[in-house]
Amino acid sequence: MSIETMLSNVSYYGSFAWMYGIKSDLWNAAVQSYRKNVGQLKKPHLITLIDYRILGNEPRLWTLALIPPVPIRLCHTLVAHGSGSGKGKKVMWVSRERGSNKSCVGGFVTKHIYESSLGQKDKSKTRPALVLEGLDPTNDNARSRGIRMHGAWYVKDNSAGNSHGCICCKQDIHEALIKIVHGGSFMFSYFGDDYFQV
């Protein structure tokens, strides 16, 4: 499917987002970033959304495949937020600042997978992690901050724990998920319009 077709259809797909519990303001903000940055996407049919307004003990990450006639939900799972954003299950603050240990918001393009000890209790062991490139003013230094998507021992079935700002899923989910979304798909994290700018 061409980028032109994806751009013309992306708002249409938003009319189905409610089926998966995705709020319209999250979708609309993501579309703004997606439209601005679509030229950087090699997999424009894949979108991952994170809603940090949802508590960490509930699923708040969705990965969708924008395939007609309706978007297909590939994943819906818990995801950690940074300890600087609020220790516990509620996000209180977001930031792009280095050393803040806070989650950042905005659009990302997924890059390559590499082996890392991030999120491992035993730091002598490694598992795949995904490099993310921030695309918007609210997260444009995400890569240099070391913001990654990876699995973490502290993300359980009903509790996500806290990262240093990385986007962390359960260990038994993250490897399959990053294999799908790596290499140029779109990811967007959100905490409300007041915290995001294109």
Q: What value does the mean pLDDT take over residues 127-141?
A: 98
Percent of the chain with pLDDT over 90: 89
3-state SS, 44-101, equals: CCEEEEEECCCCCCCCCEEEEECCCCCCEEEEEECCCEEHHHCCCCCCCCCCCCCCCC
pLDDT of residue 170: 96
pLDDT above 90 for 69 = no
User: Which one is predicted more confidently, 153 or 6?
Assistant: 153
Cβ neighbours around 1 below 10 Å, total: 11
pLDDT digits 0-9 by tens, 81-108: 999 999 999 999 999 999 999 999 999 9
Contact 61, 75 (CB under 8 A): yes
Model pTM score: 0.96
Distance, in Å, from the CA atom of 12 to the CA atom of 35, rounded to the nearest integer, reads 13
Assign 6 a pLDDT band (cuts: 50, 70, 90): confident
Token pair listed for 18: 């409610």
Which residues have C-beta within 8 Å of that of residue 131, sequence separation ≥ 6? 110, 111, 112, 113, 114, 143, 148
pLDDT at 138: 97
The CA angle 104-109-115, to the nearest 5 degrees, is 85
pLDDT one-digit tens code per residue, 31-42:
999 999 999 999
- What does the pLDDT read at residue 1? 62
| DSSP assignments along 128-185, one per residue | EEEEEEE-STTTTTHHHHT-EEEEETT--SS---EESS-EEEEHHHHHHHHHHHTTT-
Q: pLDDT at residue 2 above 90?
A: no
- Give mean pLDDT, residues 45-57: 97
Contact 138, 104 (CB under 8 A): yes
Contact criterion met (CB below 8 Å) for 52 and 191 = yes
The length of the chain is 198
pLDDT of 5: 72
Residue 118: pLDDT over 70:
yes
158, amino acid identity: N
- Residue 119's pLDDT is what? 96
What CATH number should be reported for the domain whose range is 3-195? 2.40.440.10
In this prediction, residue 10 carries a pLDDT of 85
**Does residue 18 surpass a pLDDT of 80?**
yes
pLDDT at 40: 95
State the pLDDT at residue 100: 97
